[in-house]
Structure 1
C-alpha cells in the first residue's frame, strides 16, 4: 500500500506548523493494547487539530476513517476531504457530506485535497 501520508506531509509541512500523522511504520496488528493506544492518540489529535484532512485511497475501505469523518462532519471543524475515484465507498462519502456539509468539495486527488487544507492556515477555527 502506498504511503500517501508521506506525500501529503510534503505538501502540508511548508504551510502548517504541525502535522499529526497516524501512520506507524510497524504497527503490531493483533496487539489490543497498542490498538487502544493508537485509537486514543488519533482521537486526541483530531480533537486538538485546527483542521483535519481526510484522504480515502483506493487500496482499503478504511471503516474507522469513515467513522471519524462522520464524527467531524457533524462539527464545525474545518475539513479537507478527498477520495480517489477508485475508492469503493466514494459515492457514500460524497453523498453523506452533501447532506452534512453542503458545499464541501470531495476532491479526487491528494494534491488538491492538501491544497484545500492549506487554505485553512490562519483562519479562525
Structure 2
C-alpha cells in the first residue's frame, strides 16, 4: 500500500482510496484506517491529514482545501467516516453530498454517537438507495477495501435526481 498525504500530490494509476471525513477536532481515525489497509497490494491511500499542519502559514488553509478537492476527484473509491464526539464535520457532510451524487463508489460509516448520523442515513438513502452506512470504522474500511480490490467497483443505488 502507498500512503499519500499533503502536500504530496498523486496522479498515478488506481486503485486510489480517499479517506474522507473529519480532521479538525476529530481523533486521528485516518491513521487507524490506513493501518487496516496496510496489507492491500497496489492500493494508494489518499489521506488528507497532514503529518504537520501549520494553519498560521499564508495560504495553508487554501492549499489544504485544494489538495482535498483535487484528490477526492482523483480517487477511484471514497471512504467517508463520521467519528463520534461533538464535531459535526460540516465540510465532510458537504463532500459526502457532492460525491454521493457524482456516482463514485463509496464506503460510508458513522459511529452511532455521531450527532448527525440520521442525516447521513436519510440523505444517502435518498441519493443512493441501498448503500449501507456502517457502524464501525473497521466495517467501513472492510467495505472500502472490497470496492478497491474488485477491479471495477460497482456503483450501488445511483439515480438521477
Q: Same fold (TM over 0.5)?
A: yes
Taking the aligned partners of 2:113 and 2:29, their CA distance within structure 1 comes to 15
Taking the aligned partners of 2:33 and 2:95, their CA distance within structure 1 comes to 19
- How far 1:25 moved relative to its partner? 3.3
Aligned to 1:43: 69
Deviation digits for residues 70-111 of structure 1 (CA, Å, limit 9, x no counterpart): 000001110000001000000100000000010000000000
**Higher helix proportion, which one?**
1
Taking the aligned partners of 2:80 and 2:64, their CA distance within structure 1 comes to 17
- How far 1:124 moved relative to its partner? 1.4
* SS of 1:81 mapped into structure 2: strand
Gapped regions of structure 2 (runs ≥ 5): 1-25, 154-161
Aligned to 2:103: 76
Deviation digits for residues 10-38 of structure 1 (CA, Å, limit 9, x no counterpart): 11232252101001233233556111100
Taking the aligned partners of 2:70 and 2:115, their CA distance within structure 1 comes to 28
Gapped regions of structure 1 (runs ≥ 5): none
* SS of 2:59 mapped into structure 1: helix
Aligned to 1:91: 118
**Higher strand proportion, which one?**
2
**Pick aligned residue for 1:22 from 43, 48, 52:** 48
* SS of 2:44 mapped into structure 1: coil
Runs of 4+ aligned residues of structure 1 deviating over 2 Å after TM superposition are 25-32
* SS of 1:119 mapped into structure 2: helix
**Pick aligned residue for 2:34 from 6, 9, 12:** 9
* SS of 1:66 mapped into structure 2: helix
